[in-house]
Structures are given as structure tokens and as C-alpha cells.
Chains A and B, each alone.
Chain A
Amino acid sequence: MNEDGMYCIDGGRPFVERLTEMASDAMAVVAWGACASWGCVQAAKPNPTHAVPIDKVIRNKPIVKVPGCPPIAEVMTGVITYVTMFGRLPDLDRQGRPKMFYSQRIHDKCYRRPHFDAGQFVEEWDDEGARKGFCLYKMGCKGPTTYNACSTTRWNGGVSFPIQSGHGCIGCSEDGFWDKGSFYDRLTGINAFGIERNADQIGLAAAGIVVAGIAVHAGITAVRQLTTKPKDTIKTIASEPTDKNAG
């Protein structure tokens, strides 16, 4: 938001003005992606443009956060159809994320979890363990602290998800994931059996942090006049509405 918002210009004016105008007649705003939800990559330290998430710009509306870089397409569709179909906003967790997709960790539903529990880890890229599909915890997997649906819903029509294709989770739906050390640093403070408690503490701590970072990059959806005209209720500023990211 430095330079009066002129790092992102739309029609000769700061994009942020457009954002506020669009949201003014909305009943709720859906923050698509890690950018709108947390600020994401442009808000990573030292955040040169002073990017902030949507809830730092729009303060008088309910905000539904659908984080992820990007979020899973099926999850985005799910959130929108939930609102149009049931005529209400989904249940949200403390951080404003729909519980139906964000209440469990990648680790909770990861198919490599038995290897974690058995202490069978990938020790090096493409080692014997990697070829056998062992747990990626030692390669820096952030699955134990990341709340998202990847390990269940998977990606692009259920074809795979990062861990299935051999790379640890980088935690791209978590607030400030860019600034939590290298993607290959091992998570600390997570014991094989104490994990429930530890991860919950992490969740609590994250909820208490003032979200520091916006979100001109991804998109928002303003949900308006919800009860009267369901067909016209959705106003979307999507990252890629009709094309490349939609798949």
C-alpha cells in the first residue's frame, strides 16, 4: 500500500480503490487464495510494496478466506456453490476458513502417514525411501502444520497432490508460509506422538497473530443480495476466472 497504492494501477487509479468500491454493496467477501487471504508472496519479508490482505482493506464485512497458492479449483467451486445452493455462508474456523475444507491437516489424511508413524522416512531425494513412497517429513514437509484438503481432494480432478508426486508440502495455504524458514527445513517441535497437541498450539498461535500482509494479486468475491436474487449474487474478482487457472 506504499506510494498511495500506485504499485498496482487500474484505470489510472489505485486498484485498492476499485476493490473497496466493489465490496461496498456486498454482504460478504470471499478472499481467494493465499494472496487475498494472507498477502502471500508479495507480502513476504521485507514486503517492499507493503502488500496487505483483504481483511486489512475491507473491515466491515464478513470475510471468507479460501487460502492456498492457488487454492484447489474444486474447493473454490465448492465454496461458491455452497453459498448459492444453501443460501448461507459456510461455517468458518477461527481464521475465517471454511471448516469443510480447512479443518484438518494435510498430515491427518496423508497416505504416507503410516510411514511417518513407522519411522520410515525419505532421507535424500530419489533414495530408496523416495522410490518406495516413504514419509517426506525429513525433506521439510509442512503437512503436519498445514490445514488444507490436498491429501483428500487432491488436484486437477483428483490426479495427484504434491506429496504423491514426491515433494513435501510447502504449506502454501498457511499464513506467512514464505517466512517460516526454507521449504526444506525440518519442522521442529513436532514429535511423532505429541503431534496433535503441538499442531493445535500452532493453530492457536497463528490465529492470534495480526495478519500482516494484501492482496491485490489473487481475487475476492463479493457476495451480495444473497437472499433475494441468488443468480446475481456473486461478484467475482478471480485470479483467472475463465481460463488458465480454472483448470
Chain B
Amino acid sequence: MGAQTPNGFSLDASGKRIVVDPVTRIEGHLRVEVNVDEHNVIRNAVSTGTMWRGIEVILKGRDPRDAWAFTERICGVCTGTHALTSVRAVENALGISIPENANTIRNLMQLALQVHDHLVHFYHLHALDWVDVVSALKADPKATSILAQSISRWPMSSPGYFKDLQTRLAKFVESGQLGPFKNGYWGHPAYKLPPEANLLAVAHYLEALDFQKEIVKIHTIYGGKNPHPNWLVGGVPCSINVDGTGAVGAINIERLNLVSSVIDRTLEFVEQVYLPDVVAIAGFYKDWLYGGGLSSKSVMSYGDIPEYANDYTDKSLLLPRGVILNGNLKEIHEIDLNAPDQVQEFVAHSWYKYPDETVGLHPYDGVTEPNYQLGPKSKGSKTDIQSLDESAKYSWIKSPRWKGNAVEVGPLARYIIGYAQGKAEFKDPTDKLLTDLGLPLTALFSTLGRTAARALECQWAAQKMRYFQDKLLGSIKAGNLATANVEKWDPATWPKETRGVGFTEAPRGALGHWIRIKDAKIDNYQCVVPTTWNGSPRDPKGNIGAFEASLLDTPVADPNQPLEIIRTLHSFDPCLACSTHVMSPDGQEMAKVTVR
């Protein structure tokens, strides 16, 4: 029954099938089915995006200057990234350049998003895959305090603080109301932390809940609100006025001070809480290096955070750009998002229709036409799926490929590429982390590596926020106030027909929007989002995507409690372009697990 995929993985679907649907603590709807062998090791994996909202169809015929607001609503959490990608695509199509200050402010917003997303993802969506909340009740508060002070100088670390927290947690558990902590396989053998480390992590889970309300204020100041701040084709909507009449209603010194103080607190929290926690937790999981999947073979990053306005070349982009194929770290392939043979989307296994499904389409020529049908080997009915048939169509996600290759995107991909390019900003912290943990470079290609790269990147982003805020202050000091270029605001100045592409590195990975404009209206709009790369179903050649690859060969201690599956999927920070979460009075619902 075994089969070899062209991208080097062996699949065997003959064993017992486990279905996890919905996978919780992610953004959106994800279903996963795996087959395990007689030792409960995963030998086949099938990942399914279970929702389609049709934003691209809705955009047709609209004003391109409005597109950011529509695409921003693709996701409730990477709020802003889609909007930024969209205004870049429109600017690219229309040849609009933006002022330096606008580039700086956009970078600040994008970096704030990276930090916020990484932090919230780690503590609130992912940490409980490593941290056993119930075990924290057994911790000695004094020992917890000693542990906390040994890894960080974060002040909230006294024995009394941890004792108090433990008492509150105990009441919570006794009352049977675990609240946000309901959602876990407490006591599962795959949890490895001592009680003190668990208690410490629970404390920081709660502190991070508070802290995340601070960092979004950067979006509120420059963009008016969060989630879904406002953007503008040609620059940013906020004006700068630090001297004259009406300065009080613009970006003025009070606003700039507020941003600066938020950045200071962000750096503190990331460097004194998040990073030390990840290193400490990783120390207990050094033996659990599963989940690498595609990361040791093929990774891709478009790059982002342009140092110079309107310069999207490698030398300007501070986040690395390029593709690594087949694990060859010595060769970084260049990306051309306009080249018809590079980025292509396939739908052979997706619930969409193409005229010829053996070929892929470049996003400029992309088609998004739904076609929901189940394969002959699926079980259940169209409205009550028991198990899917992966030899047929099985997902609402398309399969994007780079020159035919499935690639992983995200923080780990960015760090691997930055590392391979020898960029000290990425290589040095990675080497230091590996040395501290006593692990070889190959350990990076794992679930743990993905989680660690996200933490390192969070620190990088926080430091860059400081850098760009200082840059903005310097620019204002030099008398440079411009934040928008309105030369081509009026559609009458636009060409009759044009097209363009915009890209960013979303927290979860490479994001691109391709737009065609005709008679001042959107003629075609296609988004290829990070979770489409990572969560893609198989392509016509049978290459599997990053989610599916990452689950293979992982042993599952208890098929009824697939903590290992959830842990690895969460390490990607999956975002299925929709944010419906289900919560009952007693906390979040568990993933529903079915074993057949």
C-alpha cells in the first residue's frame, strides 16, 4: 500500500485512520486525517481547509483603492498584513511611489503585527501543547521563583506571586471550570515539563493576555483601530504635525511618545518573558524533534520590511527573500512573482474547477470557481463527512507550488533562508540558541525549530520597531512630514488596463496579492496566502504540502488524544482565513477526535 511522493515522502494509508476535526486553537477551520501503523506512528496525513468565503469573487468590479479593506477581513488576526499587501499590489499596478515616512509607519505596523501575532500565538494557541496546566498545581512556588529568576530578570517572579496564582488556579480547577485552559489533554504522557516550569508558563500565559492589549495600540495610533486598522493607497492615512495649529489631532509628540513607550515595553516582554520561556521549555523537549516535514527540504520567503521606500529588492528587504530547494542551503533561488512559471496554483485536489486541472495557473490568470464534490472512497455523505478520499478533491485550499515545488513558508523558512544567506541578524541568534541547548543545526528542522524561530523573529521584530520609530523621529526632526502621495489618487490618471503584484511576509509566511485593473475597476484579484502554501492538498504530481509532510513518522502515544498532531500543526500558526471559534461557558470545545 506504500507510495513514494515526488518530493521524497513515503505514504501508507493502510493503517487505522484518525480524524481530528475541528483542530482547535487555530484561526479558522482545519480538519486533519491521518493513518497510523501498528506502532501508532503516522504514515499518511491529509489536511483539509474547511471553509471558503469567496472574497476574490466579491472584489471583481470594485474600486482598487477599496481592496485593502476587503482583503484585510480575510483574517481577523493577521489584520493589516492583507491590507498592506493589497495597497502594495495596487501601487505596483499603478506605478505609485510612497513617501519615506509612509514606508516607515507601514513597517512599524507590520512589525507590531508580527510581534503581537507571534506572542499571542505562542502563549494562547500553542504553549498548551507543551505546558500541562493541571500539573502546575503540584509546583512548589519557591522553586518556581528560583527557576524564574534563573532564566530572566523579569520582576514578577516572587514566591508569593506564584503561590497566589496557584491558589487561583486550584479554585478554577476545583470548580470544574477550567475556562481557557479546558482545551488540553492534561496528564498526557507527551507533556515533559516539571510542575514548576508549568506554573511559570501559566503565569506568563495570563500576563501575555494583558500585554497583547498594549502592543495593538501602535495600530490604533497609526491606523485608528485594531483589529482592522485603516490603510491608504499612496501612503498612510495619518498626517504628521508636531508644531502648528491642529497638531493635537495629528501624529504629534504625545502620539510618538506613546508609540515609543509601547515599543519599550514590548522589547522588555519579548526579551524577558517570551524568549527565556521558549528556551527553557525547549530544554525539556530536546528529544522530541519530530515535525520537520518540508522544512529540511524546500522553504520560501518573499522578504519584507523594506528599509527604503518603494525598493522591494533584496538589498532593501530586511526579512530574507528567496527559495531553498531539496535541502541545498548553498543555493538560494531568486523569486519573480510576475514570472508565469514560478508561482502557480493547482486545484486537482481542491474544491475548485479549472478547465484543465493537470496544469497550474499563475495568480494573474487565477480562477476561483467552487466545485464541491467528494471522492469515491470517502465515507459518509456530502453534509456529514466521516472520512475523506485524498485521491480526489478534498480541501477548500488550493495547492500553490513554486516552479512545481511544494515549499514551507513562515518564521522557520525565513530563518533558514537568512541563515543560509549568512546574515548575522538571523544566523547568530540561531547558532546561540542551538549551542545553549546543545543541539545540532539539523534540530532546527522540527516542530520545536518552528516554535523557536518564531520566538527569535519576535525579538528581531521588536528591535526593528525601535529602529523604525527612531528613523521616523529622525525624519520628522529633519523637517520631512509627508505621509501620502496623491499624484495618482484620481482614477482619471490611471492607464486603461494594468496589473501588479504586492507581497509581504505575514506572521505565518509569504503572502502575495495579484491584481488586474481595467477601466479603473478590479478585473481579477487573487490572494495566495501562507496557510495555502503550508496547508495545501496534494498537487497533480502527488507532492504533499508542509502540514501533511510534517505529521509523517511522528509516533502518537494515544490515538484518542492526538496531542502530537495538534502540537505540530499549531507550530505553523495555521490561519484558515476565517476566525470562527466555538466556546461554551466552561471553556473552549476540544478538538473532536474520531478513530476508525
Taking a contact as CB atoms under 8 Å apart, the answer to whether A42 and B54 are in contact is: yes
A152 within 8 A of B: no
Q: Is B238 an interface residue (CB 8 A)?
A: yes
- Contact indicator A12/B386 (Cβ below 8 Å): yes
* Chain B interface size range: 35 or more
* Contact call B220/A15, Cβ cutoff below 8 A: no
A15 CB contact (under 8 Å) in B180, B250, B486, B580:
B580
B230 touches A165 (CB 8 A): yes
Q: Of A57-65, A85-93, A189-197, A233-241, which binds chain B?
A: A233-241
User: Do A160 and B249 touch (CB < 8 A)?
Assistant: no
Q: How far is the CA of A174 from the CA of B223 in the complex (A)?
A: 20
B339 within 8 A of partner (CB): no
B29 contact set on A, CB distance < 8 A: 8-10, 15
B477 at the interface (CB under 8 A from A): no
Per-residue interface assignment for chain B, residues 208 to 238, with 1 indicating a CB less than 8 Å from any chain A CB and 0 otherwise: 0100110011011111111111101011111
Inter-subunit contact A125/B246 (CB<8 Å): no
B125 at the interface (CB under 8 A from A): yes
- For residues 101 through 137 of chain B, which have their beta carbon under 8 Å from a beta carbon of chain A? 116-117, 120, 124-125
- Given A48-B57, A161-B224, A125 and B237 touching (CB < 8 A)? yes
Given A160-B224, A170-B230, are A245 and B76 neighbors across the interface (CB < 8 Å)? Answer: yes
Binds B, one of A94-102, A178-186, A199-207: A178-186
B53 contacts chain A at the CB level, 8 A cutoff: yes
Are the C-beta atoms of B239 and A46 separated by less than 8 Å? no
Q: In this assembly, does B39 line the interface, its C-beta being within 8 Å of a C-beta of chain A?
A: no
Whether B222 pairs with A46 at a CB distance below 8 angstroms is no
Of residues 45 through 68 on chain B, the ones whose CB sits less than 8 Å from some CB of chain A are 50-55, 57-58, 62-63, 65-66
- List of B residues within 8 angstroms of A163 by Cβ: 224
Q: A44 to chain B: which residues have CB within 8 Å?
A: 58, 70
Known: A7-B370, A165-B221. A239 touches B239 (CB 8 A): no
**CB <8 Å contact, B63 and A165:** no
Q: Does B406 make an interface contact (CB < 8 A)?
A: no
Does residue B318 face the partner (Cβ distance < 8 Å to A)?
Answer: no
Bound-complex Cα distance A166 to B229 (A): 11
Contact A132 B244 (CB under 8 A): yes
Closest to A236 in B: B583
Say yes or no for B511: interface residue by CB 8 A criterion: no
CB-based contact B489/A125 at 8 Å: yes
**Interface of chain A residues 198 through 247 with chain B (CB within 8 A):** 216-219, 231-247
User: How near does chain B come to A44, taking the closest CB pair, in angstroms?
Assistant: 5
Roughly how many angstroms separate A182 CA and B583 CA in the complex, as a whole number?
36
A183 touches B224 (CB 8 A): no
Contact assessment for A112 and B249 in the assembled complex, using a CB-CB cutoff below 8 Å: yes
Contact A159 B212 (CB under 8 A): no
Residue numbers in A under 8 Å from B53 (CB-CB): 7, 41-42, 49, 51, 217
Q: Are B383 and A132 in contact (CB under 8 A)?
A: no
Do most interface residues of chain A lie in helix, strand or loop, or is the interface mixed?
Answer: loop
Report the minimal beta-carbon distance from A217 to chain B, rounded to whole angstroms.
6
Residues of A within 8 A of B245 (CB): 132
Contact A133/B249 with A41-B55, A42-B53 known, Cβ cut-off 8 Å: yes
Q: Which residues of A contact B583 (CB under 8 A)?
A: 236-238, 241-242
Q: Assuming the A-B contacts A112-B249, A133-B248, A156-B217, are A126 and B65 also in contact, with contact meaning beta carbons closer than 8 angstroms in the complex?
A: no
Determine if B581 and A219 form an interchain contact, defined as CB atoms under 8 angstroms apart: yes
Query: Which chain B residues (538-596) contact chain A, with CB distance < 8 Å?
Result: 578-585, 588, 592
Which of B29, B117, B482: most chain A Cβ within 10 A? Answer: B29
Inter-chain contact A42/B580, CB cutoff 8 Å:
no
In the assembled complex, which residues on chain A have CB atoms less than 8 Å from the CB atom of B230? 162, 165-167, 170
A239 contacts across to B, CB distance below 8 A: 76, 579-581
Asked whether, in the complex, the Cβ of B239 is within 8 Å of the Cβ of A131, the reply is: yes
Known: A12-B386, A126-B482, A126-B483. A162 touches B58 (CB 8 A): no
When the two chains form their complex, are residues A156 and B213 in contact, meaning their CB atoms are under 8 A apart? yes
**Chain A min CB distance to B192 (Å):** 24
Cα(A54)–Cα(B125), bound, Å? 27
Chain B nearest CB: distance from A157 CB in Å? 7
Give bound CA distance, A49 to B351, whole Å.
Answer: 13
- A164 near B116: Cβ-Cβ < 8 Å: no
Contact A238 B217 (CB under 8 A): no
Q: In the assembled complex, which residues on chain B have CB atoms less than 8 Å from the CB atom of A161?
A: 224-225
Q: Are A216 and B73 in contact (CB under 8 A)?
A: no
Residue contact B220 to A160, C-beta cutoff 8 Å: yes
Q: How far is the CA of A247 from the CA of B124 in the complex (A)?
A: 13
Chain B min CB distance to A10 (Å):
6
Bound complex: CA A127 to CA B159 (Å): 56
Q: In angstroms, how far is the closest chain A Cβ from the Cβ of B372?
A: 5
Give A219 to B588 CA distance when docked, in angstroms: 14
Contact across chains for B66 and A182 when beta carbons are under 8 A apart: yes
A109 within 8 A of B: no
Cβ of B250: which chain A residues have Cβ within 8 Å of it?
130-133, 166
On whether the beta carbons of B77 and A132 are closer than 8 Å, the reply is no
State whether the Cβ of A69 lies closer than 8 Å to any Cβ in chain B: yes
For A46, the chain B residues whose CB sits under 8 A away are 57-58
- Could you jot down 13 A-B contacts, CB within 8 Å? A3-B370, A48-B57, A111-B249, A132-B245, A161-B224, A182-B63, A216-B578, A216-B580, A217-B578, A219-B580, A244-B117, A244-B212, A247-B216
- With A161-B225, A178-B70, A241-B581 given, name 19 new contacts (CB 8 A): A7-B53, A8-B578, A9-B50, A14-B383, A131-B240, A132-B246, A156-B225, A166-B237, A167-B224, A178-B58, A184-B65, A232-B585, A236-B585, A238-B581, A243-B77, A243-B120, A243-B209, A244-B117, A245-B227
Q: Report which B residues bind A (CB closer than 8 A).
A: 19, 21-22, 29, 31, 50-55, 57-58, 62-63, 65-66, 69-70, 73, 76-77, 116-117, 120, 124-125, 180, 209, 212-213, 216-217, 219-230, 232, 234-241, 244-250, 258, 370, 372, 380, 382-386, 396, 481-484, 486, 489, 578-585, 588, 592
